[in-house]
Structure 1
Amino acid sequence: MEKFNKQSDNVKGALILILAALFFSLMVALIKLVGQRLPVSQILFVRQVGMSIMLAPVLIRGYPESLHTNRLSLQLCRIVFALIAMMCGFTAIVHIPLADATAIAFAKSFFITIFAVLILKEQVGTYRWAAVIVGFIGVIIMVRPGTAGFSMYGMLAVIGAASAGFVMVIIRLLTRIDAPATILAYQAIGVGLIMAVPASLQWVQPTAWEWLLLFGIGLVSFFAQKANIFAYAYGEASVLASIDYVRLLYATFLGWLLFSELPGTSTWVGAAIIVLASLYTVHREAKKKRRITSDPQARSINNSQP
C-alpha cells in the first residue's frame, strides 16, 4: 500500500482501472457461462434485483429526495435504451466470442459522438468525423455483413453499442438536473420491473452452481463500477482511456481459457481499427477540453451553453 501511495495520481488511476477492466471482463465471462442454459431475460432480471438491493441503503437514507427526478421523460427514455443495450449486449456475449463482443462494444464512443452532435449540439471537427468513419469500418470488418461469417448476434452487439452510446448522452443531460443516485436507481429499478415479466415467463430454475454464477455477476459488477469510479477520481480521463482497452486482452484470454475461443484475422484487424479510432477520438476530445480550459473566452462560451 505504501508503494501505491507514492505513485502519481495517473499511475494510481491506471492501476485501479486495470483491476476494473479485469472485473468487467470476469462479469462478461460469467454472463456467457450462465447463459449457456439460463435465458438472458432471467440473467438481466437477477442482476437488476441485485443492483437495487445494493442501492437500497443510499435510497432509504435520502428518501424521498433520492427518488425525485426533474425529468421523468428522460429517465424513462434512459430505462428503455439501457434495457435495449443490455439485452442486445448480453445476448451477443452468450452467442459470439468474448473478444468480438468486447471489441464491438468499444464502438460505443463513435455513437456517443454522433448522438452528442444530434442531441447536445456539440461541435465535431473533420478529424473526429474521420475517426468515427474509420471506426465503423472496423466494426464492419468484424461483423462481416453479406459473408458466410455474418451473424445476427454480431449485429445485436452493434445495436447494443449504439443504445449504450445513446444512454451515455442521456446521462450527460440528466447529471445536470438529477443526483447520481437517482439516475442509478431509476435504471436499476425500472429495468428490473420491465424484465420481471419475461423473466417469470422464461424462468429456468438455476442449479446451485448457476446461483453462484449469478451472485458472482452481481458481485463483480459492483466492484467493477466502484473500481472504475475510483480510477477516474485519481487519473485524467484522456490518460486512462487507452488503459481501458486491456479489457480486450482479458476477454481474449478468458474466451480461450473457458470456451476454447481463438479470434480470427477479421477479429484482430477490426478490433485494432476500432481501438485506434477510439483512441484518436479520445485524444481529440482531450485537446478540445484543454483548449477550452486554457482559453477564458472559449471557457465562458462553453459554460453558457445549455
Structure 2
Amino acid sequence: MTERSMRPVQGAALLALSALLFSGMGVLVREASATVNNENIVFFRNIVGVFFFLPLLLSKGLRPFKTKRLKSHLLRTTYGLAAMYCFFYAIAHLPLADAMVFTYSAPVFTPIIAYFWLKEPLTKRMLAFSVLGLLGVILVAKPSDAIFGSLSLVGLAASLLAASAFVSIREMSNTEPAYRMVFYFALFSSLISAIPLLWAWQPLNQQQLILLCAAGLLAALAQIIMSRAYSLAPPGLIGPVAYLAIVFAGVFSFFLWDEVPDVASILGAVLIFTASTLAVLWRKH
C-alpha cells in the first residue's frame, strides 16, 4: 500500500461504522437470546453470511474459491466457530459492554499464541503489553465474584479461541486471499452449526426470524466494511478505532437495559485498549 493509495481518514470512518454495526449485532443477539437458544442463533448468524457470496458464485463460479488448504480453513473454522458460541453465550448472560470487551481482548493473547504456533518473535516489551492487557481482562472478568466470574470464563474462552483463529488466519494468509477465508469460514461454520439443530432446533416466529436474520446481516456488513477499511489504511494505523464497538455497546446497554459498567470494567477496558494500541505503535517502529 503506497502513501498515495492510503486514505486513513476514510478508513477510520469505515472502521468506526463497522464497530457500530458489530455492536448493533450484539444488541440483536441479546434480544433474540431471551427466547432463542444459542444453537439457533449461531446457525443463522453463519447461514446469512453464506448468502452474501451467492452473487459472486453466480457471476464468477467456483474458480475464485479453489484452494489446496482445506485443512487450514477447517482449523480456522473450528477456532472461530467455538469462539462464536462462547461470545453469543456471553452476550446473553453478561452486560453487553463486558461481552464486547472480551471479544476485543483477543489481540492481548495473539502474540503469545503466535510465538508458540508460528514461532514469531516475542520481545519482552510485547510480553509486557500482553500482561497489561491480561490485567484488564481480569478486571472485567471479576474472578472474586463466583457467579459472574464463572460466566466470564466463557467470555475469556471466546477471547482465547478468537486469538487462535486470528493466528490461523495469519498462518495461511500467504496463499489465501481474505474473501476466500471469509467464504470458507461462512460455509464450514454453517455446515457444522447445523448439526446441533438435529436436537436443538426450535420453531421460530416471525419476530425471532427477523432478529436472527438482521443480526446475521449486520455481522456480514460489518465484516465487509471492515475489510474495505483495512484496504484504505493498514491495521497498525487505524486498528484502535475498532474499540469504539465497546463504547457503542455501552451506550446501547444504558438506554436499552439500564446497564452501567462499573469502575473495574471501565478500567479493564482502558487497560486492554492501551495495551493493544501500544503494541501496534511499537510494531510500527
TM-score normalised by length of structure 1: 0.86
Higher mean alpha-carbon deviation, 139-148 vs 259-268, is at: 139-148
Partner of 1:291: none
Counterpart pick for 2:165 among 155, 167, 170: 167
What is the CA–CA distance in structure 2 between the aligned matches of 1:270 and 1:253, rounded to whole Å?
17
SS of the aligned residue for 1:151 comes to helix
What is the CA–CA distance in structure 1 between the aligned matches of 2:227 and 2:177, rounded to whole Å?
16
1:1-306 counterparts in 2 under 5 A?
9-148=7-146, 150-287=148-285
Higher mean alpha-carbon deviation, 44-53 vs 172-181, is at: 172-181
Amino acid at match of 2:171: L
Larger Rg: 1
What is the CA–CA distance in structure 2 between the aligned matches of 1:74 and 1:237, rounded to whole Å?
23
Please tell me whether the aligned partners of residues 59 and 181 of structure 1 are also in contact (alpha carbons under 8 angstroms): no
Higher mean alpha-carbon deviation, 260-269 vs 178-187, is at: 178-187
What value does the CA root-mean-square deviation take over the aligned residues?
1.7
What is the CA–CA distance in structure 2 between the aligned matches of 1:213 and 1:189, rounded to whole Å?
21
Amino acid at match of 1:101: A
What is the deviation of 1:149? 5.7
What is the CA–CA distance in structure 2 between the aligned matches of 1:243 and 1:58, rounded to whole Å?
30
What is the deviation of 1:90? 0.8
What is the deviation of 1:242? 2.2
What is the deviation of 1:29? 0.9
Report sequence identity in percent.
Answer: 28
Gaps of 5+ in 2: 1-5
Please tell me whether the aligned partners of residues 17 and 244 of structure 1 are also in contact (alpha carbons under 8 angstroms): yes
What is the CA–CA distance in structure 1 between the aligned matches of 2:65 and 2:121, rounded to whole Å?
34
TM-score normalised by length of structure 2: 0.92
What is the CA–CA distance in structure 2 between the aligned matches of 1:228 and 1:63, rounded to whole Å?
25
